[in-house]
Amino acid sequence: MKSFDAIVIGGGQAGPFLAARMVEKGMKVALIERKFLGGTCVNAGCMPTKTLVASARAAHVARSGAVYGVNIPGEIAIDMKVVRARAEAVTMNARNGLIGWFAGMDGMTVIYGHARFEDPKTVSVNGETLTAPRIFLNVGARPVIPDLPGINDIDYLTSTSIIHLDTLPRHLAVIGGSYIGLEFAQMYRRFGAEVSVIEHGPKLASREDEDISDAIADVLRSEGIDIHTGVSDIAFARSSDGITVATDSARIDASHVLIATGRKPNTDDLGLDAAGVITDKHGYITVDDSLATNVEGIWALGDCNGHGAFTHTSYNDFEIAAANLLDGDDRNLSSRIPAYALYIDPPLGRVGMTEKQARASGRKIMISTRPMSRVGRANERGETKGFMKVIADAETKKILGAAILGIEGDEVIHGIIDAMNAGTTYPALQWSVPIHPTVSELIPTLLGDLKPV
């Protein structure tokens, strides 16, 4: 049996950085990764997909050049092999950077293999047994494959496998109208494929307020994406030239099918029962406000704890654990203000409560909206789709939440994220003097238009 001061299972965006901090403190750490260092973000999420999004936007801008007085003769052609190679290069650069970083650390042992608990202090991997007083789980999540008629008879794609395509689908059917599915839908439409989105719920991006969901649908439809919502029945069958997707309202002749119906935690094969670690009904590991599980000496970080499915929330889990365990601090999960983005074009930046959540909270609230068509920077750039929206507490004057669907919305939202984290009231933010011409300069104006509801 090999002994360590700590064992980290999973090489995503929380565990490895915590392992590095512990090594800096002179600890002996084992980092166990089943496949690739970097987790979903580096290998199948943010980095490759946003690289693909950038290629798709380049194609879109090139096709739109005439509007700006830039005439490009001939058809805009897409070389999917180059597109794929560029995304893979970004992934490999990041992954190899992590490999090199850890290889140079005295006290760090990186083990590739499948770890399972033998008891609360012991794990087995590759036929070896390791023990440590502290064990951190950072095992991430994977795509959910729903049990739909005919699904096992077709070769479907997931968000992991689609990034390796080096040919252009004739017609991509996207099953699921949430964030992952919508990003791939617009991306492949801009590459030149016909695209249909099929969503069981009544609207796209169901987490958002109805006005945001409707605006997202308008953006996608304006680019020629076929959207089906409220679909109750879906079945698949092979056809002579692809896959037939039959729903209760349509029949789609697709060449490729992307299953984008959510993700589930990679916790079902860790031997958690042997350690006594509790999970919820969906398989997420139950943690307290400090990310500790019910078993002393075991923590769960990142997607597998169900408190955020983003790189930034995983990294913040690392920050919380490191601050509490290594720096004598007292940080907690409940103080985190939720924020995220949807990377369609234009992007959606979101923070805090939706309008629906704010109304349900019983607070007296104020709301302000502003169309992007009234933003100078948006008009100058010729990108006026979407709108801004902010919700505030009428009594405390604190900002409760905001949504910015529009040009640079994923960046502009940070002004509000920072204000909310600092506890700044909206009247104080109104007196800032932002730079012109920017999208962010409209934040004080947006706040000045807050009205009670």
pLDDT beyond 90 at 212: yes
Per-chain mean pLDDT for the chain: 97
50-109 residue pLDDT tens: 999 999 999 999 999 999 999 999 999 999 999 999 999 999 999 999 999 999 999 999
143-157 residue pLDDT tens: 999 999 999 999 999
Q: Does this chain's domain 2-141+264-335 share its CATH topology with 151-261?
A: yes
CATH class of the domain at 2-141+264-335: alpha beta
What is the average pLDDT across 213-230? 98
So what's the pLDDT on residue 71? 95
290-314 residue pLDDT tens: 999 999 999 999 999 999 999 999 9
Q: Per the CATH hierarchy, to which homologous superfamily does domain 339-452 belong? A: FAD/NAD-linked reductase, C-terminal dimerisation domain (3.30.390.30)
pLDDT band at 383 (very low <50, low <70, confident <90, very high): very high
So what's the pLDDT on residue 118? 98
So what's the pLDDT on residue 249? 87
pLDDT beyond 90 at 449: yes
pLDDT beyond 90 at 196: yes
How large a percentage of the chain has pLDDT more than 70? 100
pLDDT band at 272 (very low <50, low <70, confident <90, very high): very high
Catalytic status, residue 256: no
What is the average pLDDT across 12-31? 97
SS3 per-residue string spanning the chain: CEECCEEEECCCCCHHHHHHHHHHCCCCEEEEECCCCCHHHHHCCHHHHHHHHHHHHHHHHHHCHHHHCCCCCCCCCCCHHHHHHHHHHHHHHHHHHHHHHHHCCCCEEEEECCCEEEECCEEEECCEEEECCEEEECCCEEECCCCCCCHHHCCCECCCCHHHCCCCCCEEEEECCCHHHHHHHHHHHHHCCEEEEECCCCCCCCCCCHHHHHHHHHHHHHCCCEEECCCCCEEEEEECCEEEEEECCCEEEECEEEECCCEEECCCCCCHHHHCCCECCCCCECCCCCCECCCCCEEECHHHHCCCCCHHHHHHHHHHHHHHHHCCCCCCHHHCCCEEEECCCCCEEEEECCHHHHHHCCCCEEEEEEEHHHCHHHHHHCCCCCEEEEEEECCCCEEEEEEEECCCHHHHHHHHHHHHHHCCEHHHHHCCCCCCCCCHHHHHHHHHCCEEC
How large a percentage of the chain has pLDDT more than 90? 99
So what's the pLDDT on residue 7? 98
pLDDT band at 18 (very low <50, low <70, confident <90, very high): very high
pTM for the predicted model, two decimal places: 0.96
**Ranges of each domain in the chain:** 2-141+264-335, 151-261, 339-452
So what's the pLDDT on residue 245? 98
What is the average pLDDT across 226-237? 96
What is the average pLDDT across 228-235? 96
CATH domain 151-261 topology? FAD/NAD(P)-binding domain (3.50.50)
So what's the pLDDT on residue 50? 97
What is the average pLDDT across 236-254? 95
pLDDT band at 394 (very low <50, low <70, confident <90, very high): very high
